[in-house]
RNA sequence: GCCCGGAUGGCGAAACUGGCAGACGCACGGGACUUAAAAUCCCGGGUCCGUAACAGGACGUGACGGUUCGAUUCCGUCUCCGGGCACCA
């Protein structure tokens, strides 16, 4: 120990020198890479704790520090509780920022990315996070992304990866396509002021919709996920049950067909349909306008206005417009012809892109009908016990708790019954059927970018679209590619990459030049940690069977939809391939709050960023970690206040000085536990407080994750020590007890300090693998308790009774209290309530 | 518009199952130590009324109402703040 090497000066002894002590331990820990190494072990209980892997932007921010401090505390706590812990870290290292940096600094994306990784790894190590670096995953390296390509081939074989020409979301600033999930209120998720344009491109899609039902259903099993996340995913998947109904156009339209199929969830209101509305992009509309230039002009104007409104930043519901096509379609239930319109509020990519319009019973249809003077026909009425006085409801009337009128043979049915009977009728007669639609769409993964996983497909003039052979993986992303944001993949300009031979016929062919969405990388990375160096397969299934599902995943709520729904999809696909056995990847999810300062999220544009490096340099890693755990419970937003971290530093010094005042020579056997009978009252109070503190910290750690109250409890214990010390000498055995236990309790949250304290107690064993302390209920028990006494619910006195006092004894003591007496004199006692160990309330009149 | 959170001292927060509101920490005030400061150690702080000082009293967890012997906690209505979704038929 340094104290032995060189006599410390008095001044130095006073202060906890975080820099020196943390340096010392960091060196020791790094000299032993096996310290945090995990090994699958069939008989040991496992615990897989994972924090969301960062994008290597160049430096950690406080959100990372908070996220990783929580995960690290948990990992260390579980180690101390005897679990075989897997706690890995990696880098989500493909993506656009590397290309932007390349353009700005003229550095290749790979070089920039790897340098950032090195820098951030140093930061993480300086912060003392206990990761098993032997399992590090870097998604931009071929030994990882080759398995993205391999999975893509498997998806293609299974018919779950397909190519289609489609309108896609295009961000002009990113110069690439965005997934639906990356469009936020019509704007690019990376450029909040950039409206997303629609472009027609050939794109690769993954058929996530195949799993839509299961993704929804299995949310039920994720009871340990925040309800908020489950609801967000549920809404995103957006399942609705409804009916398809064919409206006959009378054979007057071209190749797109002569019936319009509408989707409705309220077929019970179909006798109230007074028009059919088509999306402007509907194929039947295309047919119609091909032969009607007048209509064409009107529809084009409709579309143009729509686009203008969107680009002007209008989000949500914009004003409804429509155009009458001059045609009629027949309602198959009553044979009535209704006018066919084209309307801007009909979405082409939901349902069938066509609806029946029931103005009396749908808000949007009502608004539209009022504007264009369409007929409004009431076909359901509220249910009432008193049929005589039934009043017409306010329109639009959309309740389900109603019954049918003006609906022919279906009159009198309740809405729910009518939906069943009427959709069955459609199927029976062949003009429709019950159906289920989803809001979620297939996942478009093509990106016209350089810094991503090449899609392993080849285009041959003779054989068409041909997958690269598995043995030829990985398709290596070439270096030294000139990067522009001009549009189109930069790989198109690399002949050595572009030109290849057809895997089928051997003739000349061209490679796919698009790369994969980076969310592919993060959809399965946590499986790779279980078997990070496998070069025969993405992983060994036996290892997955041991480690999965992830016991605890921790990250920001911003990934509630994208990353977490893609990951679930990927797992289900791998399960169906037979690679894994689990249906879900993540058993428990925790979403921590944001780090804010001065009322706003920390960001460069707000200028309120606090640098972790600066905090570590000024206060040390432990202080930064402890503060991020202390300032708020982990699920809430944390308001960063520099003065708060001063207080933490002061607390650490207070703990440290207690150990300095009570030195122990190394090599001594641990003292036997203190005997409570022989202790002075003040020492007994300290002993009780110690055991109560162990209980509180254990409870708050395990069950609630309230690290803030864990730390507060330890602070109270330290305050008690100082009080006891000033009151007289404390027996050495009790001091030894306290000293050991404080080091153990601090170990998950402040590892540097805890290790130093552990060494100062004369312990030589590995703190990380030392058992978490247990409290003794007998030693934690109070001898006497203070019971508040209320009169009519108002506090009037306090009585001190033995902890063993009966309710009667407590009541007698309460009635004997002078203040209580004064409050009840001359009044009649109506009731006496004694809550054991809690309170007495006397009700008087 | 719909869905989910949240609101407690000057500030961050605590009160876990309805039972002493404000633990713990920050900031602040006072004292000790010091030539002085820093550091450290000790003490005090919800608001208002009241007292020379004690005492004592009233009010107090966004607002209003309800249930209860008793409500920060449960119920209803509303306000404000944060987040998600955005015409999904």
Of all residues in chain A, what percent carry a pLDDT higher than 90? 69
Q: Residue A811 CA to B51 C1' — how many Å? A: 33
Nucleic strand B within 7 A of Cβ A14 = yes
Nucleic strand B near CB of residue A712 (< 7 Å): yes
Nearest in space to A124 (alpha carbons), one of A76, A78, A74, A56: A56
Does the nearest atom of strand B lie within 7 Å of A698's Cβ? no
CB contact at 8 A, A424 and A435: no
Of A781, A798, A777, residue with least CA distance to A840:
A798
Q: What is the DSSP letter of A7?
A: P
**How many Å does it take to go from CA A795 to C1' B9?**
21
Whether A603 sits with its Cβ under 7 A from any strand B atom: the answer reads no
Query: From the alpha carbon of A715, which nucleotide's C1' atom is closest?
Result: B24
Contact, A279 CB vs strand B, < 7 Å: yes
Q: Is the peptide bond before A474 cis (omega within 30 degrees of 0)?
A: yes
DSSP symbols for A667-714: TPPPPPPPPGGGS-HHHHHHHHHHHHHHHHHHHIIIII--HHHHHHHH
The reply to whether A228 Cβ lies less than 7 angstroms from strand B is: yes
Contact (Cβ atoms closer than 8 angstroms) between residue A833 and residue A840: yes
Predicted confidence (pLDDT) per residue in A722-759, tens digit: 999 888 888 888 999 999 999 999 999 999 999 999 99
CA-to-C1' distance for A823 and B47, Å?
24
Asked whether residue A654 carries a pLDDT value surpassing 80, the answer given is: yes
Beta strands across the sheet bearing A794-802: A794-802, A784-791, A839-844, A829-835
* Chain A residues 505-534 within 7 Å (CB) of strand B: none
Is the CB of residue A537 inside 7 Å of nucleic acid strand B?
no
**How big is chain A, counted in residues?**
845
**Residue A14 confidence class, pLDDT cut points 50, 70, 90:** low
CA angle, corner A808, sides to A803 and A810, nearest 5?
Answer: 45
| pLDDT exceeds 70 at position A672 | no
**Nearest to A123, CA basis, from A562, A536, A647, A621:** A621
For residue range A192-202, list pLDDT tens digits in order.
777 777 788 88
Per the structure, the residues numbered 791 to 810 in protein chain A that have their CB within 7 angstroms of any atom of strand B are 792-796, 798
Distance A722 CA to B43 C1' (A): 14
| 154-213 of chain A touching strand B, CB 7 A cut-off | 184-185
- Among protein residues, the one whose C-alpha sits closest to the C1' atom of B25 is A647
Q: What is the pLDDT of residues A142-185, one digit of tens each?
A: 999 999 999 999 999 999 999 998 777 788 887 777 776 677 76
Strand B lies under 7 A from the Cβ of residue A646 = yes
**Whose structure tokens read 């012809």?**
A337
pTM for the structure as a whole: 0.92
Tell me what pLDDT residue A772 has: 97
Has residue A120 got a pLDDT over 90?
A: yes
Confidence grade of residue A311 (pLDDT, cut at 50, 70, 90):
low
Assembly ipTM: 0.95
pLDDT per position as a tens digit, A824-844: 888 888 889 999 888 999 998
Query: How far, in Å, is the CA of A800 from the C1' of nucleotide B57?
Result: 24
Q: Residue A117's pLDDT is what?
A: 98
Strand B contact with A242 (CB < 7 A): yes
C-alpha distance from residue A39 to each of A143, A538, A662 (Å): 21, 18, 39
Chain B nucleotides reached by a protein CB under 7 Å: 1, 3-5, 11-16, 19-21, 23-27, 39-43, 56-58, 69-71, 83-89
Residues 610-639 of A with CB under 7 A from strand B: 630-633, 636-639
- Cβ of A699 less than 7 A from strand B: yes
Whole-number Å distance, CA A709 to C1' B23?
9
Average pLDDT over every residue of A342-355 = 93
Q: Helix, strand or coil for residue A167?
A: strand
The mean pLDDT value for A710-733 works out to 92
């Amino acid at each position: 120990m340094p104290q032995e090497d060189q006599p410390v000066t008095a001044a130095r002894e006073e202060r906890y020198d975080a820099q020196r002590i943390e340096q010392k331990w960091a060196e020791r820990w790094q000299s032993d890479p096996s310290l945090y190494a995990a090994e699958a072990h069939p008989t040991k209980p496992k615990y897989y704790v994972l924090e969301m892997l960062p994008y290597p932007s160049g430096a950690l921010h406080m959100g990372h520090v908070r996220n990783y401090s929580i995960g690290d505390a948990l990992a260390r706590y579980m180690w101390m509780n005897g679990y075989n812990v897997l706690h890995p870290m990696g880098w989500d290292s493909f993506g656009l920022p590397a290309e932007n940096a390349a353009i700005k600094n003229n550095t290749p994306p790979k070089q920039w990315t790897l340098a950032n990784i090195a820098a951030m790894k140093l930061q993480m190590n300086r912060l003392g996070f206990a990761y098993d670096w032997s399992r590090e995953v870097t998604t931009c390296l071929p030994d990882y992304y080759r398995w993205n390509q391999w999975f893509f081939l498997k998806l293609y074989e299974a018919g779950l990866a397909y190519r289609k020409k489609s309108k896609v979301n295009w961000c002009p600033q990113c110069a690439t396509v965005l997934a639906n999930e990356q469009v936020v209120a019509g704007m690019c998720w990376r450029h909040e002021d950039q409206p997303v344009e629609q472009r027609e491109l050939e794109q690769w899609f993954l058929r996530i919709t195949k799993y839509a039902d299961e993704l929804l259903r299995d949310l039920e099993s994720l009871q340990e996920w925040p309800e908020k996340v489950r609801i967000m995913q549920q809404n995103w998947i957006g399942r609705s049950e409804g009916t398809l109904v064919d409206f006959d156009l009378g054979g007057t339209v071209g190749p797109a067909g002569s019936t319009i199929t509408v989707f409705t969830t309220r077929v019970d209101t179909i006798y109230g349909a007074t028009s059919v509305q088509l999306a402007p992009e509907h194929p039947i509309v295309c047919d119609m306008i091909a032969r009607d230039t007048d209509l064409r002009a009107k529809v084009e104007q409709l579309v143009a206005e729509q686009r203008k409104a969107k680009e002007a930043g209008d989000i949500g519901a914009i004003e409804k417009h429509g155009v009458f096509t001059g045609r009629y379609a027949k309602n198959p239930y009553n044979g009535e012809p209704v006018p066919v319109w084209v309307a801007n509020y009909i979405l082409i990519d939901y349902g069938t892109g066509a609806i029946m319009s029931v103005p009396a019973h749908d808000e949007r249809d009502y608004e539209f009908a009022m504007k264009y003077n369409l007929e409004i026909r009431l076909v359901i009425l509220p249910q009432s016990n008193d049929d005589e006085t039934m009043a017409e409801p306010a329109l639009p009337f959309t309740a389900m708790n109603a019954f049918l009128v003006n609906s022919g043979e279906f009159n009198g049915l309740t809405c729910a019954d009518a939906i069943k009977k009427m959709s069955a009728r459609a199927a029976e007669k062949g003009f429709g059927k019950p159906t289920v639609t989803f809001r979620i769409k297939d996942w478009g993964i093509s990106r016209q970018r350089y810094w991503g996983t090449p899609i392993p497909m080849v285009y041959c003039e003779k054989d068409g679209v041909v997958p690269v052979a598995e043995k030829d993986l990985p398709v290596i992303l070439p270096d030294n590619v000139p990067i522009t944001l001009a549009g189109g993949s930069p790989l198109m300009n690399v002949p050595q990459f572009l030109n290849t031979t057809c895997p089928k016929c051997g003739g000349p062919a061209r490679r796919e030049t698009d790369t994969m969405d980076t969310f592919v990388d993060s959809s399965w990375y946590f499986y790779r940690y279980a078997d990070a160096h496998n070069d025969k397969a993405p992983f060994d299934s036996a290892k997955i069977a041991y480690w999965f599902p992830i016991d605890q995943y921790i990250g920001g709520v911003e990934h509630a939809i994208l990353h977490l729904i893609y990951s679930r999809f990927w797992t289900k696909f791998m399960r169906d391939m037979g690679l894994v056995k689990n249906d879900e990847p993540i058993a428990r999810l925790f979403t921590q709050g944001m780090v804010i300062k001065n009322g706003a999220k920390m960001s460069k544009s707000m200028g309120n960023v606090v640098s972790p490096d600066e905090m570590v340099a000024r206060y040390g890693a432990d202080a930064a970690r402890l503060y991020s755990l202390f300032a708020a419970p982990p699920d809430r937003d944390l308001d960063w206040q520099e003065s708060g971290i001063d207080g933490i530093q002061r607390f650490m010094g207070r703990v440290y000085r207690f150990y300095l005042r009570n030195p122990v020579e190394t090599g001594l056997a641990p003292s036997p536990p203190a005997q409570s009978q022989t202790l002075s009252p003040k020492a007994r109070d300290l002993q009780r407080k110690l055991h109560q503190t162990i209980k509180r910290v254990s409870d708050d750690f395990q069950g609630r994750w309230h690290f803030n109250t864990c730390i507060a409890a330890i602070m109270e214990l330290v305050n008690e020590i100082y009080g006891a010390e000033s009151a007289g000498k404390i027996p050495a055995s009790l001091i030894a007890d306290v000293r050991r236990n404080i080091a153990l309790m601090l170990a998950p949250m402040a590892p540097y300090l805890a290790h130093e304290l552990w060494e100062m107690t004369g312990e030589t064993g590995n703190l990380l693998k030392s058992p978490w302390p247990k409290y003794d209920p007998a030693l934690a028990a109070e001898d006497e308790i203070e019971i508040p006494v209320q009169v009519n619910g108002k506090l009037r006195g306090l009585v001190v009774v033995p902890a063993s006092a009966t309710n009667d004894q407590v009541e007698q003591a309460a009635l004997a209290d002078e203040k209580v007496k004064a409050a009840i004199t001359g009044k009649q006692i109506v009731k006496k309530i004694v809550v054991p160990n809690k309170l007495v309330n006397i009700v008087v009149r």
